[in-house]
Structure 1
Amino acid sequence: MKRIPDLLHLVLSACFIAWISSQCQTLSASDVSNLKLKNFVSQNTMGQKKNSSLVGTDLIDNSINPDKYFVGGGDVFSIHILELPSVEYMAVVDQNCDAVIPELGIIRIGKKSLTQAKDIITDFVKSRLKKSYEVYVALSRAKSAVVTITGAVTNPGTYQMEGTSRIFDAIRMANGNVMPAPYDVNYREVQCINKDSSTTYDLFKFLMLNDNNQNPYLYPGDNICISLAGKKVLISGNLKSSYYGNLPIKSGETAKDFLSLFTMDGSADMNNIIITKHDPDSSIIYSMLHPQDITLTDKDIIIVPQLSNYPRSETVKIMGEINRPGTYPLIRQVTTGRKLLDLAGGSTNLGNIERAFIIRREKINIMQKSLNPVQQSNLTQQLPTRTAISPVRPEINSAIVNINASNDYSVIPLDNKAMDELLEPNDEIVVPETDNKVYVSGRVKSPGAYPFVKGKKIGYFIETAGGFSSRADKTNIFTLTQYGENFQIREDNVIDEGDVIVVPESQQYKYMSTVLLPIISIFLSAVSTAMVLYYYMNQVN
């Protein structure tokens, strides 16, 4: 009686096997037991999971353009019968582009696109099934591609890459994972040779328009060659493209084809593009809307001008202790400092509106020509370049050097007169924080921060800091006034809150310590040495 369950189990197992066998036509015993076939499949499916889910096998498949990816040796397909969830086949593509399915046989595919290969495999599997089942085929593992890159890259040679990589990826890898500059290499004519085929691709079209037709997937055995840039044209003007300047052109390329690679700015005048021919010297007005037949040659110049009536977008900024800091539109002949302060909600409780100022980032000499006399009178004066003063604190010394070296902005105190002056594009109004301190630095007895007393002059604050030290240069004292992140040098006697008073080191002391003292020290050393030698010689005699 105990053997009845075992017999029942055997009978059920036999019935299940018979049912599975009835669904599929089996190959001959010699085909199934073919040792080479099994070894090939086991080697190429190593790491693949049996009975993997449809979602898992579809990940690689979904990341590939099936019409542009060509099947080759090393690709692995997962095949599912939707009505039979427990049945799964693995098809491995060999170097002859044949797909091997151990249970079903060999499928002749050839160099086909992924879409075509999946259709061929689906038809083959369906032909081996006795019933009409739905067959799902997915690429579960992509091949590797051994390719060779030569030409204008830093590390030409042979590389093994994923089959899902493209030509541009191979060029980057051969250039130290850095994209070669489009001004230096000829992306316009990249040659790819494989066995008996040779194709030229325009990778610049891929870079500019994301056209992957010009950047195909790698295929085993590809030989890729990219040369240095030869013929170039200069293109500039109102463009929104990532690349412009001196760029390579193809032989016989027309202006229409070249300009089609670029995205024009909304302000571009596409009816009046200026093309200056190098040989012979002449200028042509070109229209993209009604293109002429113009062939570009080496060293031509293309300028895309701005529309003559295009409205300009101009802004000003207000920063610091302000209720609504930020960037605001500038209305020509209307926006003043007072109106901008009102628009930004006025100063906060911590702001000192009396010390507000405008930073106008233009060269001073240009500013003085363009401003009216009232504005010129409000400009703070820039002093001639000073030599670095080592005893001053390093951060102040650095600020002095930067100010004198750049000279690229003008500071306009926002007093009552300047409040009603018209602002200019890119002006910045800064409302500083109230700072009831004056800072005394350099050769004083007690450098540091001291309470600001309105109306007091430099001498008062130096006395508050303990007076001059013995090394002080009393004739070259100057003041640093902070404007935002910038400092400006002043030599007047008026002190405002937040100012830094700098007392430099005496030049006489500096001369003594750097010139006379070393000379005296050397002289004394020489005298001492001579006396020692004289004493030694007397002892010997």
Structure 2
Amino acid sequence: MQKKKMAKTALLTVVLLFQSYILPQNKNEFNFDTTPRQSTISVTIGGDFIVSGSFPAVIGERVDQFVTRIFNVAKSERVGTTASAEQKEMVFKQLADFTKREIKIKRVSGQILTIDLEKYRLTGDYSQNPYLQNDDVIIFPFNDRERNFVFITGAINRNASSWGNNQTVKFQFVEGDRLEDALLFAGGIDEGFDKVTSAEISRLDASGEKETKFTVTISDNPLLKRGDRISIIGVETFRRDYTVTVAGEVYRPGTIAISKGSSTLKEVIEKAGGFLPNADLSRAELIRGANVFKSTLFSEELDQFLMNRMAEINPEDSLSLLIDNKLRFIRGNGVIDFTTISDTASAASKFSVRNGDYINIPEKLNLVYVFGQVYNPGYIGFTADKGIDYYIAKAGGKGQNAKEDIYLIKGKSRSWTKVEKDVSYTIEPGDFIWLPKEPVRTFSYYLDRVMAISSIVTALATVLLLVIQFKK
């Protein structure tokens, strides 16, 4: 095992020497040499890092540049042997999770420097990123991330520079850290909040059972302790980019700015310039996603589970519910009569729009679509007061394989109605008329049905005979 480790270190050293001596020089636009100089020094890496040992560094190279270079070469060797992209990403995250704070540099002179690459990368403070010297030893400390931390949340920019996510920031604690250090790692105070002057600090005792909370003034910049949990206090504001989209037959279609919850549909249509003369308000729609609460904990799968949890329906209805719920999730339509929007007393004019709503105002479509088993399926010009038979005749009449059943499908709701004889139906522009096909029944089909029925009859007869014999 030791020999294998020494061989890897030797190989990495050869690669770095190759980069320093063999690779051609690169010139920038000012013709300055941007590759490492050929004169090298020896630097040793130890502690909790991806690789340890002595490696060549370039005279004039700073710690961060050297560490990044060594890391990338070692990473390529480790990750390159990993099979899948997911495994590569996981390995890379594990390798990159080395400590970047409280790094020690021991020099031949006996001098010991303590540097903070995390701060350097955020502030550009070169005192945290010194030049390397020959025989420097860089020691990366081991760190208990479960106990040696500070956690900060609240009115921060949430620049997750260490171990955080887009909600909070958790970073390695170093003795002497102050509140300003926590704010640095959190990306500073979020200016979108109002009245940000104080912070609440929560501390647990050694048992983890007793919590002490106290409020501090941010400008006092107090010292922190290991395990502190900080909340930057601010007044939440709701100045957001609330918009809806209006498409179709309006004078100014596009994105319309709205308020958080007080803008009405009438106001939005007015901002869009009003309806064009050719707008079909009977088919206009407001489409809103099912996740009206905009919660990250809400999903289509969870919604389906909640719907089914206490349902008492048969399998056929379950399939129908699945389809209906899928449509609801994709596009939850608002039930709105757009023809009454101009009436300030109407429910439509007072309807509250929400961020992300999509309003579609279609063009008047004076057509009816006839399809299925007709000789010339397609759009037929709408004629008022004409019935089903008129449009079928215009489409060339029924085909020879047409079933007796005829279905009227409404254009806006897509609701289906089976057409009954001697019943009058109102046809509107945009409606559909469908004539299904009579399935072809071969002799084999009827023979199979007869055999299936015969099998059932035989089984019943057998059971009946057994019952009669049993009673004797």
For normalisation by structure 1, the TM-score amounts to 0.47
Counterpart position of 1:267: 192
**Is residue 2:171 matched to residue 1:241?**
no
Aligned sequence identity (%): 15
1:320 to 229, 247, 255: 247
Letter in 2 for 1:277: R
Contact kept, 8 Å, 2:102 with 2:174, in 1: the verdict is no
Question: Structure 1 residue 214: deviation in Å?
Answer: 3.7
1:283 to 194, 213, 216: 213
2:334 to 386, 394, 411: 411
Give the Cα separation in 2 of the matches to 1:174 and 1:399: 52
Give the Cα separation in 1 of the matches to 2:107 and 2:404: 83
Please state whether the residue corresponding to 2:191 is helix, strand or coil: coil
Counterpart position of 1:303: 231
2:179 to 241, 250, 255: 255
Please state whether the residue corresponding to 1:450 is helix, strand or coil: strand
Give the Cα separation in 2 of the matches to 1:157 and 1:497: 80
Give the Cα separation in 2 of the matches to 1:46 and 1:314: 50
Q: How many residues align?
A: 356
Counterpart position of 1:428: 357
Letter in 2 for 1:319: V
Counterpart position of 2:116: 202
1:421-469 deviation per Cα after TM superposition (whole angstroms, max 9, x unaligned): 153441534234427366678x867897534747789998889697799
1:4-51 deviation per Cα after TM superposition (whole angstroms, max 9, x unaligned): xxxxxxxxxxxxxxxxxxxxxxxxxxxxxxxxxxxxxxx9799789xx
**Is residue 2:3 matched to residue 1:75?**
no
**Is residue 2:272 matched to residue 1:344?**
yes
Counterpart position of 1:189: 101
Letter in 2 for 1:421: K
Counterpart position of 1:138: none
Give the Cα separation in 2 of the matches to 1:226 and 1:446: 82
Letter in 2 for 1:191: I
Give the Cα separation in 1 of the matches to 2:74 and 2:404: 62
Please state whether the residue corresponding to 1:289 is helix, strand or coil: helix
Question: Structure 1 residue 349: deviation in Å?
Answer: 7.2
Counterpart position of 1:167: 67
Give the Cα separation in 1 of the matches to 2:324 and 2:383: 25
Give the Cα separation in 2 of the matches to 1:495 and 1:226: 79
Question: Structure 1 residue 412: deviation in Å?
Answer: 4.1
Shift of the 471–409 alpha-carbon distance from structure 1 to 2, 3 Å rule, reads: same
Contact kept, 8 Å, 1:149 with 1:156, in 2: the verdict is yes
Contact kept, 8 Å, 1:194 with 1:223, in 2: the verdict is yes
Shift of the 234–439 alpha-carbon distance from structure 1 to 2, 3 Å rule, reads: farther
Which sections of structure 1, spanning at least 5 residues, go unmatched? 1-42, 62-73, 77-92, 96-144, 367-383, 390-397, 482-487, 524-541
Question: Structure 1 residue 160: deviation in Å?
Answer: 7.0
Give the Cα separation in 2 of the matches to 1:151 and 1:459: 83
Contact kept, 8 Å, 2:286 with 2:360, in 1: the verdict is no
Letter in 1 for 2:243: V
Which sections of structure 2, spanning at least 5 residues, go unmatched? 1-19, 80-88, 295-312, 341-345, 419-425, 456-472
1:469-508 to 2 correspondences below 5 Å:
481=412, 490=415
Give the Cα separation in 1 of the matches to 2:29 and 2:243: 58
Shift of the 333–167 alpha-carbon distance from structure 1 to 2, 3 Å rule, reads: closer
1:240-268 deviation per Cα after TM superposition (whole angstroms, max 9, x unaligned): 23214251331443434322433211133
Letter in 2 for 1:336: T
Give the Cα separation in 1 of the matches to 2:140 and 2:408: 67
Give the Cα separation in 1 of the matches to 2:216 and 2:271: 45
Letter in 2 for 1:266: E
Shift of the 148–94 alpha-carbon distance from structure 1 to 2, 3 Å rule, reads: closer
1:393-438 deviation per Cα after TM superposition (whole angstroms, max 9, x unaligned): xxxxx9977425x367443433413552153441534234427366
Shift of the 277–239 alpha-carbon distance from structure 1 to 2, 3 Å rule, reads: same
Contact kept, 8 Å, 2:246 with 2:253, in 1: the verdict is yes
Please state whether the residue corresponding to 1:273 is helix, strand or coil: strand
Shift of the 327–45 alpha-carbon distance from structure 1 to 2, 3 Å rule, reads: closer
**Is residue 2:258 matched to residue 1:330?**
yes
Shift of the 505–480 alpha-carbon distance from structure 1 to 2, 3 Å rule, reads: farther
Letter in 2 for 1:341: I
Shift of the 191–357 alpha-carbon distance from structure 1 to 2, 3 Å rule, reads: same
What value does the CA root-mean-square deviation take over the aligned residues?
5.8
Contact kept, 8 Å, 2:183 with 2:189, in 1: the verdict is no
Shift of the 334–190 alpha-carbon distance from structure 1 to 2, 3 Å rule, reads: closer
Question: Structure 1 residue 354: deviation in Å?
Answer: 4.4
Letter in 1 for 2:37: D
